[in-house]
Structures are given as C-alpha cells and as structure tokens.
Structure 1
Amino acid sequence: MPAVENINGQAITLAMKHKDKRNPKDWKGFKFAVPFDYSMHNYLLRYYLAEAGLDPDRDVQIRSVPPPEMVANMRADNIDGFLAPDPVNQRAVYDGVGFIHILSKEIWSGHPCCAFAASKEFVTQNPNSYKALLKAVLDATAYARKAENRKEIAAAIAPTNYLNQPLTVVEQVLTGTYADGLGGIKKDPQRIDFDPFPYQSFAIWILTQMKRWGQIKGDVDYNKIAKDVFLATDATRLMKEVGMQPPATLDKKFSVMGKPFDPKKPEEYLNSFAISRTKG
C-alpha cells in the first residue's frame, strides 16, 4: 500500500428515528453496517462504541454491507446506523432517512481512509505501470487537497458513470459545508482531505485493532509488517518527482478520541483497553 487516497471522509450516520439517542451508551441492541470487517470503518466504529462502554461483539450487531446498499437498508429499517465512506452519509441526509451523528475525523482527525494497493507480484513484474499509477494517485491527491478545486472535482465524479450521486451531495462532502440531517448546516473544510503519505504508524495502529478484536492472534512483528505493506520509500521518491514535499518522518503522531498513540509501544497501547477480545 504505497499511497493513501484520502484522509477523513467517513461518518457515523443514524436513522432518523434515533435523533434523540445521541449518546452511544443508549445504542445497546443497535444494528450497524460497515463496508468490510477488515476496514478502517469497522475499527473506528468499534473504537467509538468501546469508549462508550459497549462491547461491539455483544452489545450491538455489526454487519458488512456494500456502501451503495446502506441507505436502502436504513430506509427498510434493516439497520439503525452505519459508519461508511462518503458520499453515502450525505446521501442518507439528502434522502431524509438519516442524520450525521459525528464525522470520523472527530474520532481520529487525519485518519487514513481509501488507499491505493497493489500485489507484490504486480509491483515487481510491472514496475513502470506501478510507478505510473502511483504517480497519478499522488498527483491527484495534490490537486484535490486544494479547496479551490473541490467543486470542479465534484462535478467530474458525481455523474452516473462514477459515483452516480446528486451533485449537491458530492459538493457538500468535498467542500465541507453540509446539511447534518437535523436542520443544521455545518462547516468543516477538512471533512474529507487528501494526504497520500503511507505513515507506518498508521499501519501499526491498524494492527493493534486487528489484534484487539481477535482478527489476528499471537505475537505480531508490527514494524516489519508496517514496513512491508506501507511502502513509504516509494511514496517518498515519487512525491519528489511530482513536486510534492514528503514528510521527514514515517511515524506521524496522532491521537484517537484524545488518547495518544505511540507506535513504539503497540502492545502497551493494546493492553490499555478495558474492552478487548485479547482479554476474553
């Protein structure tokens, strides 16, 4: 994974019938959707629920649902909420079936979302194609990061052959000026943003959550996996070629819900959680 395609750009959306249940402690028995079990959406939702004292595996149901089907499932009352990539959250607001409870950046500001990934075989056997694709992603993220380009991008990707969404839905996401579904208009220019660098501290955090929820077991060589998968060296080299300034460090510091993460102490971080599958 040599590049992050966007940072932030997700939200927890709840069905309109829950507009008076803004405290997650009241969500016991809820049914939630995420795009995939092994996804940032799942890990952020689980983190948020656990911080509220709910066990994500016992107090609620979390199921995998393709994002294009989430709004219909909410309308049919099959789910109470979802943590999904945009523009799905804004589409639920547009259709009047849901409201935005919080943006994912309120859980972790600057978290990685969608990413460019390639198999090791493709990278080694097709170096020129790999380099061209990666440079295109880096160049696109540099363009998308500029606020003045966001409306142009929305107009380009909203049509049927891309996102197949109303233009206003995509514009609200990309500009950060949006209806919250409860009668309010919010402004957050970083609702979605673009920073392509694959910080290895991101990979280590993801691994701690995979272990926390029982997706991986036993000893984990966090640094080796992060280095093998998040190809920071490739990103650094090619960012310079397209005129971008790569960061000086591979381990960006960040906090999740106010709790600082130290990538040098992943097991200590993992053991600090009250709710975890590693504790039975």
Structure 2
Amino acid sequence: MSIKSLGDPFSGESDLRHSKSCGCEACATGKHHHAGHDHHEDTYDLASMPAHSDMAVDGVASSSGKLASSEEMLDRAIESAVVRSVFGHNEISRRSFAKMVGSGTMMAALASVLPLDKVKAAILDDLGTPEKTKLNIGFVPITCATPIIMAQPMGFYEKYGLDVDVIKTAGWAVARDKSLNNEYDASHMLTPMPLAITMGAGSTATPFLMPAVENINGQAIVLHNDHLDKRDPKQWKGFKFGVPFEYSMHNFLLRYYVAEHGLDPDKDIQIRVVPPPEMVANLRAGNLDGYLSPDPFNQRAVWEKIGFIHTLTKDIWEGHPCCAFACSKAFADEMPNTYGALLKSIVDATQYASKPENRKEISAAIAPTNYLNQPVPVIEQVLTGRYADGLGEVKNVPDRIDFDPFPWHSMGVWILTQMKRWGYIDGDVDYKKIAEEVYVAADCAKIMKDLGYEAPDSTYQKYTIMGKVFDPDQPEAYVNSFPIGKGVS
C-alpha cells in the first residue's frame, strides 16, 4: 500500500500534499501556494515498513513523543487516504472545513458515516502481517542461487519484514531432505525437484510449490584439458560426466545433448552425481572427463587451468530454466502472508539481478565465504558474460546467465517429458495438470505486477531445442519422437 504525506488529515494546518522531505521553495519558506502543487507528494510503502520504524514523518508521534511505529503510520495513512477521497483530493476544501468545525468534530462526522476501524481492519487483513518472520532458507553455493543469496546482504528480505538466515547446503539431496523435514522453511532447488518431490520420484511424495524461477541459462559443459582434441561428442564414448543431481536440468540437458549426437547416455557414457563444489576437484583428479555443471565451477575450472568450456547450455536451449525458489505447499497454505512476503523478496531480487548494470555489485555481495566462497573475478566473469573460455579466447556473452522469475508451465511440461523419456517416471502422466499444480505462475505474476514489472499473459509457449520444436500441447508425442530413451514407445 503506497501513501503520500503522513500529516494529520483532521488538522486545518497540515498540508497533505507535502512531507518533511519536500524540498520545494514553498516548503522551504513555509509559504504554500496551494494551487497546482501536487507534484511534490512523497510516497511511503507501508507493506515494506519495518515493525518499528525510525522514519521521521510529518510529526506522526506516539504519546511518548517518540517517532511513530509502523502501526501508527498505517492508521494515519488510512485516515489520510479516506479524508482525501471524501474531499475529492481538494486540499483547500479539506483544510477550510477542518478549520471551520475543528478536528474533533470533523473526525466524529466522518466516523458516523464511515467506520474507520473497520476500514483499517480490512486493509490490514489485505496487507497481511507475516505469521513468521524468522526463516531458514537453504542454498547450494552456485551463481544460479544469486537472488536467494543476495537478498540477505543487499536487504531484500528485510525490506519485506523478514529476518532470513540463508544456509549453505552441500548439495540438493541435502536441500531436499532438510526441506521435507521442515528444517528449511523454503529452499533453493533445481526446477525439476519440486515436480519430482510432488510425484514421489526419488523421495516420499509431498506436495511442493515452485512460485519462482531463479535463473535462466547459466550452465556449461566443461571438459578436461586432456580432451582438447575431442570436441565432437561422438568421440565421448566411455567418458565419465558429472551432474549435480538426478532431478536437474543439468542431467536432462546433458542427456539431450549427447543423444542428439547419437550417444545413449545410459550405455555410451557414465553420468555420476557430484555436488557442485566437488566438480573441479574430481576433474583435476581424473575421476571425471567432464561435467555439465552450474557456475561458478565451470569458470573455476578455466581459472585453475584444468578444463575448458566446450559449450554453454544456452547454445543447447536458449532461455532454459535452471534453479528455482521452492517450498512445501503446507508452508504456503499455513503461512500465506509469510509466503507472500518471501516471494516478493525473491521476485524483487531476481528483477534487480536481471539488470546487467547491477552484476558487478552483486558479484561482490555474494562472493564471501558464507555465500559462494569464490574470487570476485570468477563470479564477475559468469554474471557479466565476459569470460575466458579456456581455449585461448575471451568471450562476451551478456546473457550467459540471466534472471527471470516467471515459472512457465510449458517449462514444467518439458521437464516432465524428459523424466518420462529417461525412465524417472512411468505410466500415464497428466503433464499439464502436474505442471500447473507445482509451478504456481499466478502467484509469481501477481507479485511481478504488484512490484511494477511486466508478467506474461500466458503460461505456455513452444521451444526450439537443438533444432527440434517442443509443443507443450503434444507432450506424449514429443517423448515418442526420440529414437533414444528408456520411456520411448
């Protein structure tokens, strides 16, 4: 809820078009020429005010003389909005009437026709005070988690009244289990994970929600420097590859990529689950020939002169989803206001991260030991898209990683087709029903619009992946169109 001046609306001396921060000449001299001066009104966002505000606003004070709390500010804001509306936002009429009858009479007259207490209660109910403000959110230390991580040091959680501990987590099996055990209120997850958890693939079936994507693009296939002469995937038979989790875009994109080059990922190569922070060490030790991993570990392999970037995943599927913000359906149902404030924090941070001019600032914020624990130059190369590829070239790819919170239902359907294709789920699958239950696009769209960002009008779109068109209206036909795959009939 945005309001303007917090002056006393029942006083004939206050001017609701001005606040203490107004720097206009009239305010500086104390002489207000009331005609046509509405352009100096200050705006306050009551939804983002902390429980005990230190703001000094237009003499709003408690009985002790101290600065007002956010509750007192909200009362004043509602009164001001109602009074301004009654007088048609005509400040001269309001002040004249207040001076003529006095503030007490004016207040009583208004209350006789419009019960302010009920109006305040209704607005407070709409704003929704968080049921719980102290939260634990898990994250795996990768650049895909940028919005979830940066929201702590850069104040996005605090902005919406939350006190969040972001907890570094070794890998996604741990993140999943801690989420299922309610040790985490919400967590950084891979976009296939909420679908898998909801369906009981790899864990006990528990309804989960994914109201926001964290990043799009942002991954790469890295090969050991010993394989500089093996750039053709057809030469990769017998290779050992790392992916961070079975239910990951990394696994599904690697499988898709090698299969399009004629290799069966279950027969011709080995795919091992390796936590992202251990990728580089395993590459160095010779335990892996390569990996499809999140950053910064692709760039870290180049930094340490162990490997090179074979291809960015954006060149497999431009704009593919990767990581997400997720929570149990029970959390969202039982604490809807907390869920809403948390989602608003994440969406706001994601939109901030989407702006290239903010990327260096963000790199410094998420580099410290308690977050990514990486050199700032490594993170900057990922987030800015200007990077060394390990092949002797410096590339400039601004959208190497990007940030877009909208959880397209069509993305969920594509992921489910790959889970079916590779045998992670079987039988009849109601692709759209599951995607729409888990990827709560409506929640994200509402928050995006509330924050002034554009949200898509639809939730489905077609994708072209390595030249092959995916139509979300024909998921089963898509699964069966591939010559390689366990679930292909």
Q: Tell me which interval the TM-score lies in, with the shorter structure as reference length.
A: over 0.9
Q: 2:314 aligns with which of 93, 105, 114?
A: 105
Q: Deviations over 1:168-219 (max 9, x none)?
A: 1000000000000111111100000011100000000000000000000000
Task: Out of 30-39 and 240-249, give the one that drifted further.
Answer: 240-249
Shift >2 Å, 4+ stretches = none
**Aligned match for 1:249, one of 458, 465, 471:** 458
Does residue 194 (structure 1) correspond to residue 379 (structure 2)? The answer is no
Q: Is 1:209 aligned with 2:421?
A: no
| Aligned position for 2:350 | 141
Corresponding residue number in structure 2 for 1:35:
244
Matches within 5 A, 1:166-181: 166-181=375-390
Asked if the contact 2:479–2:488 (Cα under 8 Å) also holds between the matched residues in 1, the reply is no
Q: Does 1:232 align with 2:415?
A: no
The aligned runs of 1:57-136 (5 Å cut-off) are: 57-136=266-345
What is the CA–CA distance in structure 2 between the aligned matches of 1:249 and 1:60, rounded to whole Å?
39
| TM-score (norm: length of structure 1) | 0.99
Q: Which residue in 1 is equivalent to 2:476?
A: 267
Counterpart residue identity of residue 282, structure 2: N
- The one-letter code of the counterpart of 1:186 is K
Q: CA deviation at 1:129?
A: 1.3
Encode CA deviations 1:225-245: one digit per residue, 9 max, x unaligned. 011000011011111111111
1:231-277, Cα deviation, whole Å (9 max, x unpaired): 01101111111111110110133211111110000011111101010
Unmatched 5+ stretches in structure 1: none
Question: Equivalents in 1 of 2:317, 2:287: separation in Å?
Answer: 28
Partner SS state of residue 305, structure 2? coil
Q: Distance in 1 between matches of 2:396 and 2:373?
A: 24
Alignment of 1:18 with 2:227, yes or no, is yes
Q: Deviations along 1:125-181, whole A, 9 cap, x unmatched?
A: 111111111111110111111110011001111111110011110000000000001
Shift of 1:118: 0.6
- The one-letter code of the counterpart of 2:309 is I
The 2-side partners of 1:235 and 1:157 are apart by: 24
| CA distance in 2: counterparts of 1:14 and 1:146, whole angstroms | 30
Distance 1:35 1:130 in 2: 28
- Secondary structure, counterpart of 2:469 in structure 1: strand
Choose which of 222, 226, 229 in structure 1 pairs with 2:431. 222
Instruction: Give distance in 2, aligned partners of 1:279 and 1:246.
Output: 35
Partner of 1:6: 215
Output the amino acid matched with 1:31: K
Amino acid at match of 1:231: V
Following superposition of structure 1 onto structure 2, how do residues 144-155 of structure 1 map, counting pairs within 5 Å? Answer: 144-155=353-364
Check whether the contact 2:223–2:291 (CA below 8 A) recurs between aligned residues: yes
Would you say the 8 A contact 2:211–2:439 is kept in 1?
yes
Name the SS of the counterpart of 1:2 in structure 2.
strand
- Residue 64 of structure 1 deviates from its aligned partner by 0.4
Q: Does 1:160 align with 2:369?
A: yes
Task: Answer whether contact 2:360 2:384 (CA < 8 A) is retained.
Answer: yes
Aligned match of 2:257 in 48, 57, 65? 48
In structure 2, what residue type is equivalent to 1:228? E
The aligned amino acid for 1:174 is L
Quick one: distance in 2 between partners of 1:279 and 1:87?
35
- How far apart, in 2, do the equivalents of 1:254 and 1:272 lie? 15
Matched residues in 2 for 1:4 and 1:156: separation? 21
Using the alignment, how far apart are the partners of 2:250 and 2:408 within structure 1? 18
Structure with greater Cα Rg: 2
What secondary structure sits across from 1:143 in the alignment?
helix
AA of the residue aligned to 1:14: L
Q: Which residue in 2 is equivalent to 1:277?
A: 486
Cα distance in 2 for residues equivalent to 1:253 and 1:116:
23
Structure 2 unaligned residues grouped into runs of 5+: 1-209
What is the letter of the counterpart of residue 15 of structure 1?
Answer: H
State the alpha-carbon separation in 1 of the partners of residues 327 and 487 from structure 2: 31
| TM-score in terms of structure 2 length | 0.57
The structure, 1 or 2, with the larger RCO (C-alpha pairs under 8 Å, 6+ apart) is 1
Q: What does the per-residue CA deviation read over 1:21-47, in whole Å, with 9 as the maximum and x for residues that have no partner?
A: 000000000000000001010000000
In structure 2, what residue type is equivalent to 1:164? N
Deviation of residue 49 (structure 1)?
0.5
Query: For residues 488 and 455 of structure 2, what CA distance do their matches in structure 1 show?
Result: 39
Distance in 2, Cα, partners of 1:142 & 1:37: 29
Q: Is the contact between residue 413 and residue 472 of structure 2 (CA under 8 Å) also seen in structure 1? A: yes
